[in-house]
A and B are shown apart, each in its own frame.
Chain A
Amino acid sequence: METMEWVRGSLDHCVKCTICETFCPVSNVTPLFPGPKYVGPQAERLRTGEGSPDASLDYCSACGICTFVCPQGVKIAEINAKARAAMKAERGVPLRDRLIARTTLMGKVGTPFAPVANWFLGNQPLRRLVEKTVKVHHEAPMPRFVGRTFQSWARSHTPLQDAASAVVLFHGCNVNYFEPKLGEMAVAVLEHNGLRVLIPPQECCGLPLQSNGLFDDARSYVRKLTQSFLPYANRGYDVLAMSTSCGLMLKREAREMLDLQDDEDLKTVSAHTYDVCEFLLALHERGELKTDFKPLPMTVTYHPPCQLMGHWMGKPALDLFALIPELKVEETDAECCGMAGTYGLKAEKYDIAMAVGAPVFQQVEDVRPDLVASDGETCRWQIQKATGVPSVHPVEVLYRAYGLGG
Chain B
Amino acid sequence: MSADVVVLGAGLSGLTAALRLAEGGLRTVLVAQGVGATHLAPPTIDVLGYDPELVESPAQALPAFAAAHADHPYARISPETVAASIGWFREKVPGLGYVGSLDENLLVPTAVGAAKPTAIVPEAMAASDVRAGGRFVFVGLRAFKSFYPAYLAENLCRAKLPSGATVEARGIQLSDPGQEPDVTCLEYARQFERPEFRKAVTAELLPQLQPEEKVGFPSVLGLDNHRAVWQELQDVLQRPVFEVPSLPPSVPGIRLFRALRKAFRNAGGRLVLGPTAVGAETSNGTVDALVVQASANRPTTYAAKSFVLATGGFATGAINLDSFGEVRETVLGLPVAGVPDVEALRFSPGYFEDHPMARAGLAVDEHLRPVDADGNPAFGNVYAVGAVLGGAEPWREHSGNGLAIATGFAAASEILEGAS
Identify the A interface with B (CB < 8 A). Answer: 15, 17-19, 21-23, 28, 31, 34-35, 67-73, 248, 251-252, 255, 267-268, 270-274, 281, 285, 309-315, 318-319, 331, 333
Contact = CB atoms under 8 A, between A and B. Distances in A.
B262 to A, nearest CB: 7
B40 A21 contact: no
A128 to B, nearest CB: 32
Nearest to A311: B295
A73 B34 contact: yes
A312 B10 CA distance: 14
Given A251-B295, A252-B295, A270-B296, A309 B273 contact: yes
A309 B295 CA distance: 10
B39 interface: yes
A4 to B, nearest CB: 18
A22 B249 contact: yes
Contacts of B275: 312-313
A311 B276 contact: no
B36 to A, nearest CB: 6
B29 interface: yes
A236 to B, nearest CB: 12
Kindly list the 6 A-B residue pairs having the minimum CB-CB distance in the complex, ordered from nearest.
Answer: A312-B274, A71-B34, A314-B272, A68-B274, A270-B297, A252-B295
Interface of B: 1-2, 29, 32-36, 39-40, 180-182, 184, 186, 190, 248-249, 254, 258, 262, 265, 270-276, 292, 294-298, 300, 312, 315-317
Given A285-B2, A312-B272, 6 more contacts: A73-B317, A272-B298, A309-B274, A312-B292, A313-B300, A314-B271
Contacts, number: 108
Most buried by B among A21, A68, A270, A271: A68
A366 to B, nearest CB: 13
Contacts of A252: 295-297
Contact of B294 (A70, A281, A285, A313): A313
Given A251-B297, A255-B297, A21 B273 contact: no
Contacts of B270: 314-315, 318-319
A69 B275 CA distance: 10
Nearest to B268: A322
B265 A331 contact: yes
Contacts of A311: 274, 294-296
Given A70-B34, A73-B33, A331-B265, A17 B276 contact: no
Contacts of B182: 34
Contacts of A272: 298
B321 to A, nearest CB: 15
B33 A17 contact: no
Nearest to B248: A18
A271 to B, nearest CB: 4
9 contacts: A18-B39, A19-B40, A21-B184, A22-B254, A72-B317, A274-B296, A311-B295, A313-B275, A319-B270
A71 B316 contact: yes
A22 B39 contact: yes
Contact of B297 (A271, A315, A318): A271
Most buried by B among A19, A267, A268, A318: A19
Nearest to A64: B274
Contacts of A310: 274, 295
A33 to B, nearest CB: 12
Contacts of A268: 297
Most buried by B among A22, A69, A285: A22
Contacts of A17: 39-40, 248-249
A233 to B, nearest CB: 11
B265 A19 contact: no
Contacts of B315: 15
Nearest to A285: B2
Nearest to B10: A71
A252 B312 CA distance: 27
A28 B34 contact: no
A391 B1 CA distance: 27
Contact of B35 (A23, A73, A314): A23
Contacts of A18: 39-40, 184, 248-249
